[in-house]
Structure 1
Amino acid sequence: MRSWRQRRRVSQLDLGIEAEVSARHISFLETGRARPSRDMVMRLSEELEIPLRHRNRLLVAAGYAPVFPEREVRAPEMEVVRQALDKILAGHEPYPALVVDAAWDLVAANGAAAMFMEGAPAELLKEPVNVMRLSLHPEAMGGRLVNLPEVRAHLLHRLRRQAEASGSGRLAELHDELAGYTYEGVDLNVAHVPGPADILLPLRIRHGDRVLSMFTTIATFGTPVDVTVSELAIETFWPNDEETAAAFH
């Protein structure tokens, strides 16, 4: 609990105020001088916005059974979730859309997203396909990104922040792997300075004889109580100019 509180940069006093518990009791819980109730674990986890997977681990550490189920996406109980994902992916055609899990492994995608995998080495396309690795690998999308330095800096920053916020060692290892990629003839130290007409940082990728310019939105489920559902994210890609929109259509 202490490591999560420190990761969130919250003092014992501030956490106690938000959770309506004394800072002294928070201290006793963190040092093992007091044993938390299950409700206390749940309350503190909620205030610290701890991922459901780790809330289960905290409950087990406190001597309680985990309360958040973790089902496979293909499980019968997940039918309503699959239906929602299928409708979103299909409804976003002809533009690309995909679903990833907490590790950025591909869960589902629509037909238009196949363009991101064109020319990628076979080892990168073996399941589970990692979307971050596919995006920055120099023999995959990383070699086709016209504005690679800017996109790379943005994706690495996002990945580092996610690793810190989630406490995921796997994401931290993935960040270090991607940060170590080298690209022949590319200066990675170029900082992106937005122009007066810029609104979003586009993803500019070579596709055949065209350069497609896109931006993305990311959506999650609003009220998950299942570990798997809580970790799913839907990334949709949108044309950044009329030429790109026409190319997709």
Structure 2
Amino acid sequence: MGAVAVQEEAFGDLLRSWRQRRRVSQLDLAIEADVSARHISFLETGRARPSREMVMKLAEELEVPLRHRNRLLIAAGFAPVFAERAVRAPEMHVVRQALDTILAGHEPYPALVVDAAWNLVAANPAAGMFMAGVPAELLEEPVNVMRLSLHPEAMGGRLLNLAEVRAHLLHRLRRQAEMSGDGRLAELHDELAAYRYPGVDLNVAHVPGPGDILLPLRIRHGDRVLSMFTTIATFGTPVEVTVSELAIETFWPADDETAAAFR
């Protein structure tokens, strides 16, 4: 049996891809990296080979995610420098402790942690409301929070302002796919965009009223309507792949009735 050929990635192609994704010219990148535009051109065409320090500098200026910085280093002939561990790894104790504290401290309101693909990593008990009555197949690991949010048999069928929320989430997902270079997000976007909701006009545009501050999620929950908005937090100085991709989404009551229902 013959050996399986492994296709190597060219550093220049990857660099050009990230530069174009960030809509940065060779000249602008050269100025930020304190090199000549000619050198950037030579790196992209393969006529010059970067040092490890130059790879790190360019990746920093282009805000390349840590996972892809490792790919750039490997393509340039260097070993990856950013470790990747499971959330449950012993070395991640301080991270888990921080996440558990935030989740518990946000009760009685829902809070959850997701990874780069919007798969559920952890949640507090209040977040169980989002999974009530959801088909078992949608709760198989990994549970995808975006899929739960828009699937017609999950939250998508309970959102009273589905058109507005759907437009916002799909826009966010598309931008994340473009900025991160993560093909999983592009596939997820296309899947969610294909969902159909009989009798729902998805072309309704949300025009904020004079008293509006945030676009709430208006969710039918039993005989109540819960109105909530969310905040998203990330770790400030990650140098590990998994930590850099974690996000904590916390849900807050948008009116007194919703706050009272959770209390």
Alignment TM-score > 0.5, same fold? yes
SS in 2 for 1:73: coil
In the TM superposition, residue 112 of structure 1 has moved relative to its aligned partner by 0.2
CA separation in 1, counterparts of 2:63 and 2:93? 27
Partner of 1:193: 207
- Unaligned runs of 5+ residues in structure 2 are 1-14
Q: Is the counterpart of residue 14 in structure 1 residue 28 in structure 2?
A: yes
CA separation in 2, counterparts of 1:214 and 1:174? 24
Q: Is the counterpart of residue 36 in structure 1 residue 40 in structure 2?
A: no
Q: Is the counterpart of residue 152 in structure 1 residue 166 in structure 2?
A: yes
SS in 2 for 1:132: helix
CA separation in 1, counterparts of 2:229 and 2:148? 17
CA separation in 2, counterparts of 1:197 and 1:130? 33
Query: What is the total number of aligned residue pairs between the two structures?
Result: 249
Q: Under a length normalisation based on structure 1, what TM-score does the superposition of the two structures give?
A: 1.00
Q: Of 121, 124, 138, which aligns to 1:107? A: 121
Which AA in structure 2 matches 1:75?
A: A
Q: Is the counterpart of residue 123 in structure 1 residue 137 in structure 2?
A: yes
CA separation in 1, counterparts of 2:41 and 2:133? 55
Identity of aligned residues (%): 88
Cα RMSD over matched residues?
0.3
Partner of 1:81: 95
Q: Under a length normalisation based on structure 2, what TM-score does the superposition of the two structures give?
A: 0.94
SS in 1 for 2:121: strand
Partner of 1:214: 228
* Post-superposition CA distance 1:143-179 (Å, at most 9, x none): 0000000000000000000000001111000000000
Partner of 1:139: 153
In the TM superposition, residue 239 of structure 1 has moved relative to its aligned partner by 0.2
**Runs of 4+ deviating beyond 6 Å:** none
Q: Is the counterpart of residue 50 in structure 1 residue 45 in structure 2?
A: no
